[in-house]
Amino acid sequence: MERERLVVVGNGMAGLRLLEELKAACPGRYAVTVIGAEPEPAYNRVLLSSLLAGEASDEDLAFRDRAWYAANGYRLLTGAPVQSIDAAARKATLKDGRVFAYDRLVLATGSEAVRLPLPGAHLSQVLVFRDRCDAMRLKALGGHGKRAVVIGGGLLGLEAAYGLVQIGCAVTVVHLMDKLMERQLDAKGAATLRRALEAKGVAFALGAESKGVVGVEKVEGLELGSGEILPADMIVMACGVRPNVTLGRAAGLAANRGLLVDDAMRTSDERIYALGECAEHRGVVYGLVAPAYEQAKTLARRLAGDEAAYDGSLLSTNLKVSGVSVFSAGAIEAEDGDETLTLSDPGHGCYRKLIVRDDRLKGAILVGEASDALWYLDLIASGAALGPLRDDLAFGRGFAMAA
């Protein structure tokens, strides 16, 4: 019996995890072709700031080499952007003209960096920070004595700022909001993070609008809405990403922000699936790795013939932002009737906030020290009653479990 042809468009972290899950769930069941637009196989995007900072090598970012794909029967194409998808004919056409027929198709096309339409944004020293090539360009432009302005005080912007500071740049982060990482942190948590980053050499302009790039043939600065000009040799736009839905939308798939998928990760075309940052499930587009991995597991089981369903993911962030541990999960602000437990040690750059509702942990923010992050995440996810843990909850797992 001839195997079904499965084409996976996108060889990022989500696409690779699907291949790994397929290997576990139904090895050899499909004739798999993986098509990636980037020149190399999937790598760890989480380490891009470390690569920029010189703290990680290309080898550190690598996941699986080409031999792994071949050994598992996966045909891998890199540096091969897909031009179009013909859903009726079940064909994917590459920009170089090659055509691949499929029985089932998976779109794992990720996100693309948002570029603000500012005057002067066309200059070559105005960059984004999204992939390995971006990191290499930043590294080439940066160095001691160079001035960089990073637009965006979310995760991407702070990671770019840290990497640039580490290679000797003078860095200012410009953020439209009045606090950093406003989606993950409350005001005190954001202030704690800001102080920690200032101590590492990052300057900030918060509540500031970017008006235009100053310079004719090369970048000379960034003009703010206030009229102030921040001198700069380079500008990094790290003000968000948008789901890369161009291919899917052009193929007629239903889309909002992302490609709409059901609990089976299936799009509006029953033979086409989507996962990761390009997918929208129950109104949510997840821009994090963990949900993409959960989606990949569900989809692999579906492709193996199981009735697996993806119910959504608990939004959580657990990482080092510019060398500072930051964790956020669940609610970040209390509602009426909630209890708020906080511990703050500004001298050591540590902040902890827990939100308790009806004897259950509903949210947690940790800045500076996050060793108990996964324990708190389990408590939030399980919805278990806290009981005697409640009194010592803010002091961490060691105290609470010993009490």
Other CB atoms within 10 A of residue 239 CB: 21
* Residue 215 contacts residue 122 (beta carbons within 8 Å): no
- Residue 381 has a pLDDT of 93
Question: Over the stretch 225-284, which tens digit does the pLDDT of each residue have?
Answer: 999 999 999 999 999 999 999 999 999 999 999 999 999 999 999 999 999 999 999 999
d(CA 357, CA 339): 6
What is the reported pTM? 0.93
Query: Residue 313: which residues within 8 A CB-CB, separation 6 or more?
Result: 286, 288, 290, 291, 294
- Residue 131 has a pLDDT of 94
- Residue 403 has a pLDDT of 56
d(CA 60, CA 78): 20
d(CA 74, CA 302): 19
Output the CA torsion 211→216→219→225 (10° steps).
-10
Tokens 């190399």 found at:
40
3-state secondary structure 151-198: ECCCHHHHHHHHHHHHCCCEEEEEECCCCCCCCCCCHHHHHHHHHHHH
The low-confidence residues of the chain, meaning pLDDT below 70, are 1, 403
d(CA 102, CA 289): 27
Tokens 């200032």 found at:
198
Q: Tokens for 333, please give them.
A: 């602000």
- Residue 319 has a pLDDT of 78
Other CB atoms within 10 A of residue 31 CB: 16
